[in-house]
Amino acid sequence: MKLLFATANQNKAKEIAALLPASYELLTLRDIDLKEDIPETQNTLEGNAKQKSEYVLNNFQLDCFADDTGLEIPALNNEPGVLSARYAGEQRDSEANMQLVLDRLKGKDDRSARFRTVISLELNGKQYLFEGIVNGTIREGKSGDGGFGYDPIFEPENCGRTFGEMTMDEKNQYSHRARAFEKMINFLSEMAE
């Protein structure tokens, strides 16, 4: 079965492809020749995920799934949240985003955080949502050069290492995206029975 992931982010696509059972083939926006960014103008992760999956369905008539992920930090009023990719500006600079988080957390005792992913699946004329969450803390500095986004400063609970210090397979054992995706795959498997 072919699954279209409504993303141009090849790092996300690699993470998801590593989780897929052999019976699935993952396609991305490159495969349907969509080069422009799909709008993300909603003020929630759920809204952005829905907006992206609906865009593909409405413009290409293809079943697909889309995700949106946010880093939520209670000491920063749950920022960066839905603005995680653009926290330090529209240029989507991961280094600047991480530095802004570290700067704003200086002097704060509470460094707890969570990553939350919402997946919107468009399938056979219906929409389904799946959520994955991983709790953890924000380190005081970067550690590791793996992963992407905020991975070098986020340490999942009971782990002792940041996502940036893990291989992709190790990260997928903890990851918010892997947890949401696993729920979607289980749902698809149940539907196929």
Reduced to 3 states, what is the DSSP secondary structure of residue 168?
helix
| Residue 145 annotated to the active site | no
The residue from 33, 63, 67, 68 that is catalytic is 68
In whole angstroms, give the CA distance from residue 68 to residue 71.
11
In DSSP terms, 79 is beta-bridged to: 73
In whole angstroms, give the CA distance from residue 177 to residue 110.
24
- Residue 110 vs residues 1, 69, 72, 137: alpha-carbon distances, Å: 45, 22, 13, 9
Reduced to 3 states, what is the DSSP secondary structure of residue 93?
coil
Which ranges of the chain would DSSP assign to H, the alpha helix? 10-19, 45-60, 94-105, 168-172, 176-192
Positions marked catalytic? 68
